[in-house]
Structure 1
């Protein structure tokens, strides 16, 4: 949707307003009228007056700024840059004019189209898929209206007007920047249909030399995050959470804390105790003085080792539900010439984002609530904030802040941070803003982990070395169970538990995937690439093991089963070619390969390691090939592949989160160890040219790196490591 901010003295639409309808409104624009842009107002508007979908996407100000209202959340993955590129391709603006701001509060405008448009949210590497058409159309519509305004003002045919680098011009010498035409453009009809540029005229989409517009602010420190918020009277709250998941506050004594100078209040929230101070340091000192007794009757008291033992017992039996069942795997395994079996274990993993979790809230005298934070699921957070605040969603204004990482952690079904911030602000009263700031220890011990899993896998080969059957029994917690997404669980199958296994591309005539969902009170959540974080490792290391059992080359073995999956085959061939697969390596150097599709993006990775024996090895080189459809921002795609490889590499090498008698053992980056900079390998990224619609790149670089390293270690040692983290297993 388009919005042109009018010059001083005219009626000025704000970010909470939009133009709709067909009735003329004097003083604003012929053909339009204003209504408030709250969900309630949008729903109350008659169907024939519903907002044109261009209206809230692009705003041009008299100050000659281009403000793009993003339906997607920016957490470092580059969605703002990608969306701005789509707009700028059609708008022909100047990048120096551009800023992108987070939008929320209207599902009809900002619903994620890749999710059917029913809710706004960022995840599943869907930002570009959802934005691909509507933001290009918004840019094209804005350009059309600017041209129409200039044509009317200059009395020249619109077809003779050119737009380039933020300037509208005519051969007669007349020219104006976008801001100078903003008021007049607001009077132009929004076109019902716009013609988008053909691919051969693109100058922004796919441009190799186009760099992120927002890099400078991140380097010079001017980029603000929720942790940087400043406003009059802003207090800081730190949380005391139960030490065991499922425990509740039995009683607490705040007296000593309240006696400390600078402590504003000590408040019980639905999720623990909030200690509010005039600043962070004071709040932390007050936190240590609060005496809390916990009711652990419903708490999880098992340690992670005990949980894994129980998972392995379940793996010995049949699965509780069947996710895929092609042919007759049991019979084919019985008749196989050779059978290979394996038992895999995967630990809990933390998101460990660089910016610890936070959110801020303020109740206002007029009954509205302002909430600042990394709103990865705005509709849900708005609804929950309203419930906690005792009001209706249209009274909740979300301020969508950029954040220093998420990896899925800020898309929480119960809106944990929002609940804490709004509950604390409500207790403080109107006009008293508060920011709830978690410490790193809160973050690491606060739950929402990648679930722990066990896989019991078995496969059979015929006498010619072809796979005739494969059976995988997956045991682990459901992410969707008990959440608003629980309806996606069908016939006992949470799709996030089995993705990457049920869509295995290899031609295996008898394939069975079973799932047993466990009941554990450790809170779990999607973690960057979700189910593929474990299924890719199992399938791709097991395929390598089967290739070895068949005395076949791992790349050739995979390609022989990919006749019906040309995009998988293409990235595998490209990665192998660029890595020099099959060429000699120096002594002590070994290669491994892995292939995986996640979120409709295809990635193959070849790694080279130097192995010195025991657990002494380094990952030196990674060659990555990716097919993500049309490459909107090639430089950003490479950056996301590199980031995903580093993220996944740290996890597979050394990360694990453990519990002892229900209490999390790790607290900070000293005991939970993401990849260190000296461990980052050289990474080469090769992008497959494509005419397919764009898909995501935020997550798909993660799944192949683990099995590629595992397969390189197998080449070095002759053994498949089935229990990440790899360094720990090699040291055992």
Structure 2
């Protein structure tokens, strides 16, 4: 999705600091004072210090920090709270966090211009605004204390939730200052801390959400329970775009506990007193589907169309030097790299609980896109947006799937048919077979070598334009800025360089963002190509990359360190190889080495993974490590097993038996080294996802000589020893 860049000709720095000059994103504004009618969840500003949209301090010193981003396992609530608490000089022991309500004016992600969590933007986008919010609030508290003591505010300091006047040995807690501080005029241009003075940021603090997840107190969206609530399970038309034909509910209504059958355009829901009744009722239904024209679509057809489209000229996303001249001489290399559809398969299946009343609608769910859910629910319920309440929950995984509002819209339509709350739960089969899938991509690389270095690099990406659907104003001049993200921002220096994009939408199959977003395909293609070019040039893969990183010191530094830490160059047994990947993703720099063994029948054993990450200032180093580890496992799972296939307009995979996850016994030792840096924070939630597949592929290449160019890994090719 919208990762580090924006529209062509607008710098990433301009995007993250000032928004887009083209005007399609809302400008981010940090309110100086919370509006009197600011919406909050079961909260009020009465009797508290509420200097802005993010901070609430009551008379006891209890400090509530409002979270503009959602927690879906990435540790963002803790890291955002650390940023605010650092500049506020809060007492960390008294800090609590609370979901922010849906409100684009107050909580819009500065990158997207709306309240959305994704693209590894949570920390890098909010770094400056949240620091400013915390520093401004601290200054107001200091002013209040200074006024009470009748001293110069400059003579006061703050620490751990107290203002201190050292000259008179006086101190006062934030709680005691709450009411007085509320009357202070917010100062202008308050200086934020020098990083050398950080006492919270940079510490490996324990996550705030972990205890309740361990003891079972946490309430995910699927756990919501309301008085008189019923449960609904659904059956969506198995064919993309198909509709409901006839429904015989005779058997279903005989099942004890079944309350109602709801028939929508392409969905049938059974509402019951409990999940078992609803599920058994659904099994007893007899449904005839009008499958429509998409019942003939197959994976073979989709790939045939994509390959044909990829041969067309694309819109130029970036051009340096003279690509035609560069490709006219030298040792030529050409390759195409293909990635399949992928499902999200979050551990928490799709769900939403909804209560629709004649004049209002209330929702309990976990979503990455609160305001869009609110707006779409209002349309479905037929009520004004301000009559829709969205109760946010922690997400049991999101990975981009919950950037879509479809599950909530369906739940609202079902709940409209009854007068009690309904929890709508998708089975794992419905979840996987009615996902919004990671697109299929075909990336073509044409390059030439002169004197052992790349002289020209032409890179063409063909695939869905997710941005064109999800954020239409960002799709300009035929370029999906997400699909070409890491391709246009490669770490290497090539004198002649061109990136093209061909929009190619698969018939009927809905596509969306998947963890790792655009760099998924980019990093795989260019890092696999770099390994093949290194061999063609007769160079070691690490040395070959070093020669092209002379103008990128951060990328070169992580490459050098990962080579050292992974034992690069040390002898290995037969059919064991090391593969390397270097990438700038989400304003972070990551170098990864995977060590893998491939047996004679093509089975793969992961022996060791080493990653070095330069993410700028690491707000919480422990979270950075955890996210790289989790991302690597997520990406390697896709490389080893991940593929969604279509036959007769239907997704063939249905559950974890045929859409496999990587298992604990398959996971090797993972070492993550976090580089100490003074640069602004980058994103880390998705970087590891993109590192694993090419590093593994390159390890296989080193061990067997088989140059795989398509995922998931074809073990038959490895067993046969043939090149893809």
| Match among 106, 111, 123 for residue 108 of structure 2 | 111
What are the within-5 Å matches in structure 2 for residues 115-264 of structure 1?
115=112, 118-151=113-146, 163-167=158-162, 177-207=173-203, 209-264=204-259
State which drifts further: 283-292 or 697-706: 283-292
**Which residue, out of 424, 430, 434, partners 1:442?**
430
1:129-528 pair list within 5 angstroms: 129-151=124-146, 163-167=158-162, 177-207=173-203, 209-269=204-264, 271-299=266-294, 301-315=296-310, 317-336=311-330, 338-364=331-357, 367-412=359-404, 415-429=405-419, 432-462=420-450, 464-481=451-468, 483-519=469-505, 520-528=507-515
State the Cα distance separating 1:111 from its structure 2 match: 1.0
Are the equivalent residues in 2 in contact too, given 1:53–1:109 (CA < 8 A)? no
Which residue of structure 2 lines up, in the alignment, with residue 14 of structure 1?
none
Which deviations, in whole Å up to 9, do the C-alpha atoms of 1:655-686 show, x marking residues without a partner?
11112222111111111012111111211222
Residue aligning to 1:95:
92
1:648 correspondence with 2:635:
yes
Report the alpha carbon displacement of residue 583 of structure 1 after superposing the two structures with TM.
2.9
Structure 1 residues 153 and 487, CA gap change in structure 2 (3 angstroms): closer
Q: Distance in 2 between matches of 1:434 and 1:63?
A: 39
Taking a change above 3 Å as real, the CA distance of residues 138 and 489 of structure 1, as seen in their structure-2 partners, is closer
Structure 2's unaligned 5+ residue stretches are: 1-29, 41-48
Compute the displacement of 1:169 (Å): 5.7
Cα displacement string for residues 366-393 of structure 1 (whole angstroms, at most 9, x for unaligned residues): x232122122112222211111111221
Q: Mind listing any 5+ residue stretches in structure 1 that lack a counterpart? A: 1-17, 22-31, 39-51
The aligned residue for residue 5 of structure 1 is none
| Separation (CA, whole Å) in 1 of partners of 2:157 and 2:273 | 56
- 1:331-362 CA-partner distances (Å, limit 9, x unpaired): 543432x2222232221111111111111222
Q: Which moved more, 1:297-306 or 1:224-233?
A: 297-306
Q: CA deviation at 1:649?
A: 0.9
Q: Does 2:632 correspond to 1:637?
A: no
How far the C-alpha of 1:634 sits from its partner, in A, is: 0.9
User: What SS is found at the alignment partner of 2:671?
Assistant: strand
Q: Matches of 2:195 and 2:470 in 1, distance apart?
A: 40
624-633 or 56-65, larger mean C-alpha shift: 56-65
Post-superposition offset of 1:271: 4.9
Answer with 397-406 or 679-688: which moved more. Answer: 679-688
CA offsets per residue over residues 123-142 of structure 1, 9 Å max, x none?
11111122212222332333
2:466 alignment partner, SS class: coil
Length-normalised TM-score, structure 1: 0.87
For 1:148 and 1:270, the matched residues in 2 are separated by: 60
1:20–1:34 Cα contact (<8 Å) kept: no
What are the Cα deviations for residues 208-241 of structure 1, in whole angstroms up to 9, with x where unaligned? x422122111111111101111221122211110
The secondary structure found in structure 2 opposite 1:578 is helix
Q: How much has 1:526 moved relative to structure 2?
A: 0.8
Output the CA distance in 2 between the equivalents of 1:435 and 1:731.
48
Q: Deviations over 1:150-202 (max 9, x none)?
A: 45556666566554434556677766544444344434444444332222211
Counterpart of 1:444 in 2: which secondary structure? Answer: helix
- Measured after TM superposition, the shift of residue 692 of structure 1 is 1.9
| Alignment correspondent of 2:37 | 35
Q: 1:341 to 1:193 in 2, by over 3 A?
A: closer
Give matches, 1:79-94, under 5 Å: 79-94=76-91
Deviation at 1:561, TM superposition (A): 1.4
In 2, the alpha carbon distance for the partners of 1:658 and 1:563 equals 42
Residue 55 of structure 2 contacts residue 64 of structure 2 at CA under 8 Å; is this kept in 1? yes
Instruction: Describe the shift of the 1:641–1:676 C-alpha distance in structure 2 as closer, same or farther (beyond 3 A).
Output: same
Tell me the equivalent position of 2:569. 582
For residue 544 of structure 2, what is the aligned residue in structure 1?
Answer: 557
- Residue 589 (structure 2) aligns with: 602
C-alpha distance in structure 1 between counterparts of 2:480 and 2:164, whole Å: 56
- Inter-partner Cα distance in structure 2 for 1:327 and 1:154: 66
Give 2:44's aligned residue. Answer: none
Structure 1 contact 300–521 (Cα < 8 Å) conserved = no
Shift of 1:296: 2.0
- Deviation of 1:323 after TM superposition, in Å, equals 3.2
CA distance in 2, matches of 1:550, 1:19: 57
- 1:81 deviates by 0.8
Q: Which residue of 1 aligns with 2:707?
A: 720
RMSD: 2.6
CA distance in 2, matches of 1:160, 1:515: 58
Cα distance change of structure 1 residues 466 and 152 upon mapping to structure 2, 3 Å threshold: closer
* CA distance in 1: counterparts of 2:175 and 2:603, whole angstroms: 61
Q: How much does 1:276 deviate?
A: 1.5
- C-alpha distance in 2 between matches for 1:73 and 1:528: 15
SS in 2 for 1:623: strand
For 1:491 and 1:89, how far apart are their aligned partners in 2?
Answer: 43
Distance 1:155 1:600 in 2: 46
Number of aligned residue pairs: 680
Distance 2:508 2:50 in 1: 43
Among candidates 513, 522, 533, match of residue 535 of structure 1: 522
**What is the match of residue 48 of structure 1?**
none
Q: Aligned-pair distance for 1:524?
A: 0.9
Cα 1:139/1:309, change in 2 over 3 Å: same
Task: Give the structure-2-normalised TM-score.
Answer: 0.88
Cα pair distance change 1:109/1:350, threshold 3 Å: same
Distance 2:265 2:148 in 1: 60
Distance 2:264 2:141 in 1: 51
